[in-house]
Every structure is written in C-alpha cells, then in structure tokens.
Amino acid sequence: MSFVRNAWYVAGWSRDFGDDLKPVTITGQNMVMFRASTGRVVALEDRCPHKLLPLSKGKRIGDTVQCGYHGMTFDCSGKCVRVPGQDNLPRSAYVDAFAVEERNGIVWVWMGEADKADPSKIFHMDEFDDPDWYAHHGGALHIKAHYLNVAENLVDPAHVSFVHPTTLGSAASEDVPVHVSTSGDVIAAWRWIRNAPPVGFFQKFGGFAGNVDRWHYYYLHMPSTAVIDFGSVDAGLNLPEDARDQGVRIFALHFVTPVTEDYTIDHWMHLRNTAQGDEEASAQMDAMFRIAFEEDKEVLEAIHEEEQRPQKRKPIRIAIDKAPNVYRKRIRDLIESEATEYLGEPERPTFVQLD
C-alpha cells in the first residue's frame, strides 16, 4: 500500500456535485457522493452491506440513499434507516461515512481515521480570497499511473524543457540548475531563466516579444497538492526574485488524487494576477495547459507500464532529483508512521543494573 490515509484529498470541483449519486474512488475506497438538501456534500461507502451492490446504482430518496437491489436505505451519516420486509434495523447495517469539506469551489474528503479529520489542515492560499487574484477551475486529468509519479513530476522543474518544448519550456532552460528547500510540510524547487526568449505560453499569454526573465517555483504540499508559481517579466527590468507580482504571474494548482495504485486524477486550476474575469484568456490558458498535461500523461503512463516490467538493476538518481527524492522519503515516513503506533518511551529503563 502506498497511500497516505490521514489526508484530505480532492474529490472534485463544487460544480461536480449535485443531486445525482456520483461514484468517486480515492485511495482505493469506492464512495458514493451527492449534495444533500442542506447544501453539504456527503460521501458514503459505495457498497450496500447486504449484497454488495454499489449504492451509486441505487437512488436518492430525499437525503437518503436507497439500494437498487432490495431497498435498504441509508442516511447521510451512513446509518441504515430502512430494511424493507422487516421492522428491526440491525446495528451492522451501516455504511462508512467520510468527512467532506468544501472550500473555494473545491470538495475535499478525509480518507483516514475519523477522529483525526481536522478541516484546518485543508490546503489554503490567501490568494483564493484576494480580489487581486482571479481563480479559474480548469479540469481533471485522468492518468493511468501511480500518484507518486504524478506528484513528483510537479516538483520537478527540469522536465519542462524536454516534455513541454512548445508551451512551458525551451532549450534555454535545459541546464539551468534547480534550487531546493523545504519548509514545514512543503517542498520547494525553483529556478530562474534570465534573459531568454519567452516560451510558447508567454508568447501567447502576456504578449512578450523580446527577452524575458522567467521563473518556476514548484511547491509540493504533502501529500500531493502542488502549487506552481510561474511567470515572466521583461528581461530589461531585472526583477528581484521577491517582486514577482510585478510580472505576469500565475499559480498553477494541481490536486493529485490517488484513485488506485494504477490510476490518478489531477484536478488542475490556476490563479492569475492579470486578465481578471476574462474568460477568453482562461480558455486560451486552458488550451495551452491541456497540451502540456497530455504530454505529461503520455510520459507518466509509459513509465507506469515500464514499472510493471521486471527490473534488472536499480534506477539511478541525478542532480535534478533532489526535490523528488525528499518527497519520496517523506511519503515513506508518513506511511510508516500510519502503519505503526508510537507508544512512547518506557517510564524507566528495562535493563538490569549489574553491580
């Protein structure tokens, strides 16, 4: 098992959830989700405890879900409220319910131990609520690959030169070194490409003609939310690193949701400090992102297939892998800590004093 369970994962955009029963799988757990009459989104185990029919094959009766086989009915807490043909409701007739939170148009589900679900830990950016920033919810990229490879790719500035030569990268950046740092549960990798022709993205968006300074800051929040702060500014301005707001600046967000060991969904959106409310600009950017993400998908799916094949020797690691390596190590530690229970130090040493 390679999933961190005690985490909030993105199930979809707010617009994805309405009256209908929607099957959603996260960390291998099948859930049926819907928006209750209270407006809250509900997530229940998608399996009737009777004959195992997924509840998403049944139907809503008010704020309950009725199984499509024999009509067993469950409320929003997962409790069984009806068993047709009998009066008593067995205690074992329940489905698991999962904590759901909705923030800024994003629906999060807690996949771990119920008593550890803490909404204050949900990923947040101040820019979500800042009128100087414009948010656009893009799409959901489905990838037949392991989520760690997908997330790792999002703290890896080096790949853009080779995978996205027409949109996000160019030959000019091939050998520019990558800086890496960590801060709390965030891993950061970044680099500036100074005084180079604008990449495809910034030729189309921003309208740069002459040379620009371009930056890429990749922030990976554990376990799998990525914020890519990237932008360009006229090279002549010689912009200091911390004055990026003065350039055309974009936060590309990726919420990487592990579906199964072989399937991942990347919900992607962006925030920008320009072209506020200009949905034509949003559509233009989406189109460029989609080109780039299809390139990522092709690479990641090919790697996933290759990883299923026998390996004769260990893969090698190179300089640009620093951030991905830190990420892998942290994920392993998190999974390890979830798999074991820490009982604390013994009050007194247990050895026997000799003499």
Q: Which is nearer to its own copies, 153 or 232 (CB)?
A: 153
How far apart CA 175 and CA 303 sit, in angstroms, is: 23
Q: Which is nearer to its own copies, 287 or 303 (CB)?
A: 303
Q: Which is nearer to its own copies, 3 or 134 (CB)?
A: 3
73-79: long-range contacts, CB 8 A cutoff, minimum separation 24? 74/44, 76/36, 76/40, 76/42, 76/44, 78/44, 78/45
Three-state secondary structure along 263-306? EEEEEEEEEECCCCCCHHHHHHHHHHHHHHHHHHHHHHHHHHHH
Q: Which is nearer to its own copies, 66 or 273 (CB)?
A: 66
- Report the nearest approach of its own copies to the CB of residue 93 (Å): 6
- Report the nearest approach of its own copies to the CB of residue 277 (Å): 37
Q: Which is nearer to its own copies, 48 or 222 (CB)?
A: 48
Residue 239: alpha-carbon gap to chain centroid: 31
Q: Which residues bind its own copies (CB under 8 A)?
A: 30, 47, 49-54, 57, 66-72, 83-86, 90, 92-93, 149, 158-159, 161-163, 174-178, 298-299, 302-303, 306-307, 309, 313, 315-321
Residue 31: alpha-carbon gap to chain centroid: 18
- Report the nearest approach of its own copies to the CB of residue 35 (Å): 23
Q: How many of the other CB atoms lie within 10 Å of CB of 187?
A: 23
Q: Which is nearer to its own copies, 55 or 271 (CB)?
A: 55
- Report the nearest approach of its own copies to the CB of residue 72 (Å): 7
- Report the nearest approach of its own copies to the CB of residue 34 (Å): 18
How far apart CA 242 and CA 103 sit, in angstroms, is: 28
- Report the nearest approach of its own copies to the CB of residue 275 (Å): 32
318, 335, 164, 322: which is closest to 258 by C-alpha?
A: 335
- Report the nearest approach of its own copies to the CB of residue 29 (Å): 10
Sheet strand arrangement including 8-13: 8-13, 106-110, 100-103
Q: Which is nearer to its own copies, 183 or 308 (CB)?
A: 308
Residue with tokens 């407006």: 39
Q: Which is nearer to its own copies, 140 or 176 (CB)?
A: 176
- Report the nearest approach of its own copies to the CB of residue 315 (Å): 6
13-17: long-range contacts, CB 8 A cutoff, minimum separation 24? 13/105, 13/106, 13/107, 13/137, 13/267, 14/102, 14/105, 14/106, 14/107, 15/105, 15/137, 16/107, 17/41, 17/107
How far apart CA 135 and CA 272 sit, in angstroms, is: 7
